[in-house]
Structure 1
Amino acid sequence: MSAHFDAIVIGGGLVGLSIAYGLARAGLRVAVCDEGDQSFRASRGNFGLVWVQGKGVDAPAYARLTAQSARAWPAFAERLRGDSGIDPALAQPGGLSLCVDAGELAARAAAMARLAAHAPGFGYEVLDADGVRRRLPDAAPDLAGGIYSPLDGHVNPLRTLHALLAAFQARGGRYLPRRRVEEIRADGGGFTLDTGAGALRCGRLVLAAGLGNARLAPRVGLRAPVAPVRGQLMITERLPPFLPCPTPSVRQTDDGTVQIGDSQEPVGFDDGTRPDVLAGMARRAIRLFPRLRAARVVRAWGALRIMTPDGLPIYQESRRHPGAFVATCHSGVTLAAAHGEIVAPWIAGDAAPPFVEDFHAERFAP
C-alpha cells in the first residue's frame, strides 16, 4: 500500500498513542505504525501510576512537567471517556511512599523538600507511623512513617491503552498494526517510510518507538540514547478493598487485584523473570502490608522499560529535517496528559513549550 498522512507516529504504546490522539484532536490526518507484540513493549511493564513524588528532585523542568501533567489528568481522562466510551479508571486520592526506618523517612523528606522548592503549588505531608495508619489502616504498625502527596494517583494501564487507541480511531486516526518501519527517507516535501507492507508518506513524523528510537532517530538527524531496564511485576488474586491510595511498589487495582513491582535491572534485552527478584519484591510487599502474606500470586512477568542516561525524557525536533520529532520517556502514564495536551499541539505547529529546551538529546555527550 501507499498512503499519505499529515503525520505518522511510529510506536503504538502509551507515549505514541497519547501523542497521536492529541494530533488527531488537532484535526490532522494521522497514522500510527505499530510494530506489534513481537517488539519489546514498555507498556507491558507499566505500573499504572500517575506519580509526582520523587520525579525531578534535582531536575526542576521535569518536576514542573510531571506536576502539570498530573493536574491535567482529570480533564484528559474525561476526554478519553467521551471519545472512546472506555473509562481509564483514573483515581487521584493521593499517594503514599512508605518508609520502613527513620533513615529512609529522613532521606525521602529531604528529597521532597528539594522537589517542592522548584515545583510551584506542589504539596506533601511527612507522616509518622500513626499518620500512615490513619490513611492506610492495613499498613504494618511498626513502619517509621511515609510521605503523602495529594497529586498522586493511578489508572488501569491496559484500559488506558485501549481507551487511547479507541479515542484515536474515533477522531479519524488510522492504526496500522504489525507495521515495522525499516527505513525513513527525508526530502523537502516530507518523509517516506518503508515498511513491509509498502511505503507511507507524511509531512510530520514522530518517533515514539521506545527502544526502537535508537535505531530510527539517526535517519532524521536526531539522537535517542536509550537503553533497556527490566522491571518485574506480580499480580495477586482479587482481594477485598484495603488499599485506598497507591504506593510506589504496591497498589490495589480497580478490579481488586494487588499489583507489586519495584525492580530495576540493567540486563540488556532480557525481559524474563528471576525467582530471587520476585521473592524480594514479595518480602517488601508483605513487610509493608502483612495481610498480603496469605494472598495468592496469579501472574508474574518482566518487561523492558526505556531509560535515557539521566533518566529524563527526550523531546526534540530535528534541525536537519524539520517536521521530524523524537519523544522518549519512561513515564508513559504520568505524562500521557502532557503528551496529548502539550506535546501534540507543538508537533502540530504550535510554539514549542518551554520544557523542550531542557530535554534535547544534545545534553548527552556524543
Structure 2
Amino acid sequence: MRTEADFVVIGGGIVGLSVAHGLLGRGKSVICLDGSDTDFRASRGNFGLVWVQGKGINAPHYAAWSQMAVREYPEFVANLTEDTGIEVSLQQTGGYEYFSDPEAMDERLNQFKSLKKALGGDYPVEVLSAEDIRKEEPMVDGETVGATFYPHDGHVNPLQLLQALAESCQKRGLAHYLGERLTAVSQNGDGFHLQTEKGLEVSAAKVVLCAGLGAKVLGPMFGFKGLVRPQRGQVLVTEKLPPVINRPSVTIRQVNEGAIQIGDSKEEVGFNDNETQAQMARIASKAIKIMPKLAQLRLVRSWGALRVMSPDGLPVYQHSKTMPGAFLVTCHSGITLSATHSRNLSRWLVGAESAPDLSAFSEDRFNV
C-alpha cells in the first residue's frame, strides 16, 4: 500500500481525477484521498455538457479557458478510450441556446458581440432564426423565436467519463483510497503529512485540494478561504426514445441511451439536494415552450444535485500563501474543463515553464 507520493489529490470526482490523470501523465506519483458515497458528489449528478456558450460573458479569460478545454476534448476522449476501452459517448457537433423572448435574445447577441471583440474575434457563435432552428431540430416549435449555436459545444455521459478517468488513472499507477475523510495536515521540510479519520497516514511533496463543496471545511486547513457554496439544480428524465434531438442545448439533451434530460434550475437552498414538485413543474413548462411535443412524453425519474459555486461562479486556482506546495482547484464546470485540467492545469501544478497564467482565477479577486 503506497503512502508516499509526489502529489496527494484530495477528491476523487471528475475534477480530482482529471488533475490526477494529468499529473500521472507527467510521470508524477499520485495518491488520491476520496470521500464516502454519502458525500455530496457533483460528478454523479452532472448534466454532462461539454460547453462554452454563455460561459465567461463578463469574464473573457474564463471564456478563453473554456474554449481551450472543449477544443482539446476529442483527442482527450480518444486517448481515454484507447487506454481503457470505455466509450464516454462524446457527441460534439455543436449546441444551442434557445430563446422564446426576442429581447432576451437581443441582449444575449450583444453580450456575444462584446465577448467576441474581447477575444480578438475568436468566438465562433452563430445565430439561427426561428425558421432555421426548426429545420435543424424538428422537435423545436412553440414559442421559440431563435437560437444561438456554438460549433464546439456538446455532451458526454458523465458517469462513463468518471469511470474512464478512474480506470486510466489506475493503469497509470494511482493509489486511490476510498472512504477516507481528512482530519489532520502538517508540513515540514519533507513535505506534507496527512491523516484521515480511519487512521490512514500519507505523505507527499505537494497537495491538490479538489474536494468540491468539501473545500469549505478543508480549505482553511491549507490556508485557503474556502469560499464555495452549494447551488441546487434539478433534472427531469423522460422515457427512452429513438433519436429525436440532433444536438444538445444548455437545458435539453437526449442522452446516448435515448432518454431526454431536462435541467433548468439554479437554486440557493444550502445543502438541500432534494427535488421539489414546484421546481420540476417550472422546468417542464419552460421546456415545453421550446419543444411542445415533450408534453406527450412520460417522465420516469428526476434528481437534484448540488453545483460547486465560487462567489462569482468562476473556477478558483490558488497556490497557498501560507503552505507552499498546497493548491486549490475548484469549479462548477468539471466536465467541460476535464481535458484542460488534465493537459494544462498539470503544467501549472508541476511548475513547468509552459504553465498557463492562472492569476485571474486566484482567490485574490475576492479581497475587498
Paired residue type of 2:307: R
In structure 2, what is the Cα distance between the partners aligned to 1:164 and 1:220? Answer: 26
The residue that corresponds to 2:328 in the other structure is 326
The residue that corresponds to 1:114 in the other structure is 114
Paired residue type of 2:16: G
State the Cα deviation string for residues 193-243 of structure 1 (Å, max 9, x = none): 111142111111000000111212222222230011111112111111111
Paired residue type of 1:105: M
The residue that corresponds to 1:273 in the other structure is 275
Question: Are the equivalent residues in 1 in contact too, given 2:133–2:146 (CA < 8 A)?
Answer: yes
In structure 2, what is the Cα distance between the partners aligned to 1:155 and 1:7? Answer: 28
1:2 Cα deviation (Å)? 7.3
1:306 to 305, 308, 311: 308
1:115 Cα deviation (Å)? 2.1
In the TM superposition, what are the counterparts of 1:54-93 in structure 2 within 5 Å? 54-93=54-93
Paired residue type of 1:103: E
In structure 1, what is the Cα distance between the partners aligned to 2:261 and 2:245? Answer: 11
What SS does the aligned partner of 1:139 have?
A: coil
In structure 2, what is the Cα distance between the partners aligned to 1:200 and 1:351? Answer: 29
Instruction: Find out whether 1:223 has 2:214 as its counterpart.
Output: no
Question: Are the equivalent residues in 1 in contact too, given 2:143–2:290 (CA < 8 A)?
Answer: no
Instruction: Find out whether 1:148 has 2:149 as its counterpart.
Output: yes
Question: Are the equivalent residues in 2 in contact too, given 1:127–1:147 (CA < 8 A)?
Answer: yes
In structure 1, what is the Cα distance between the partners aligned to 2:202 and 2:2? Answer: 5
1:352 Cα deviation (Å)? 6.9
The residue that corresponds to 1:359 in the other structure is 361
What SS does the aligned partner of 2:240 have?
A: coil
The residue that corresponds to 2:6 in the other structure is 6
1:255 to 251, 254, 257: 257
1:319 Cα deviation (Å)? 2.6
In structure 1, what is the Cα distance between the partners aligned to 2:46 and 2:271? Answer: 17
The residue that corresponds to 1:43 in the other structure is 43
Question: Are the equivalent residues in 2 in contact too, given 1:224–1:361 (CA < 8 A)?
Answer: no
Paired residue type of 2:269: V
Give the TM-score of the pair, scaled to structure 2: 0.96
What SS does the aligned partner of 2:57 have?
A: coil
Question: Are the equivalent residues in 2 in contact too, given 1:315–1:356 (CA < 8 A)?
Answer: yes
State the Cα deviation string for residues 125-180 of structure 1 (Å, max 9, x = none): 11110111121121015411010110111111110111110111011112111011
Question: Are the equivalent residues in 1 in contact too, given 2:347–2:356 (CA < 8 A)?
Answer: no
1:101 Cα deviation (Å)? 2.0
Question: Are the equivalent residues in 1 in contact too, given 2:318–2:328 (CA < 8 A)?
Answer: yes
1:67 Cα deviation (Å)? 0.4
In structure 2, what is the Cα distance between the partners aligned to 1:17 and 1:287? Answer: 38
RMSD, aligned α-carbons: 1.4
Paired residue type of 2:348: W
State the Cα deviation string for residues 100-145 of structure 1 (Å, max 9, x = none): 1211211221121122222352201111101111211210154110
In structure 2, what is the Cα distance between the partners aligned to 1:16 and 1:351? Answer: 23
State the Cα deviation string for residues 235-288 of structure 1 (Å, max 9, x = none): 111111111110010000111111111101111111111100011111111221
Question: Are the equivalent residues in 1 in contact too, given 2:213–2:308 (CA < 8 A)?
Answer: yes
1:294 Cα deviation (Å)? 1.7
Give the TM-score of the pair, scaled to structure 1: 0.97
1:66 Cα deviation (Å)? 0.4
In structure 2, what is the Cα distance between the partners aligned to 1:223 and 1:64? Answer: 26
Q: Summarize the Cα distance change of 1:270–1:352 in structure 2 as closer, same or farther, 3 Å threshold.
A: farther
- Structure 1 stretches lacking a partner, 5+ long: none
Paired residue type of 1:247: S
1:320 Cα deviation (Å)? 2.4
In structure 2, what is the Cα distance between the partners aligned to 1:51 and 1:2? Answer: 37
1:59 Cα deviation (Å)? 0.6
| Aligned length in residues | 366
In structure 2, what is the Cα distance between the partners aligned to 1:179 and 1:344? Answer: 24
- Structure 2 stretches lacking a partner, 5+ long: none
1:199 to 183, 198, 201: 201
Paired residue type of 2:280: L
In structure 2, what is the Cα distance between the partners aligned to 1:198 and 1:176? Answer: 9
1:78 Cα deviation (Å)? 0.9
Question: Are the equivalent residues in 2 in contact too, given 1:2–1:201 (CA < 8 A)?
Answer: no
1:242 to 233, 236, 244: 244
What SS does the aligned partner of 1:126 have?
A: strand
Q: Summarize the Cα distance change of 1:2–1:94 in structure 2 as closer, same or farther, 3 Å threshold.
A: closer
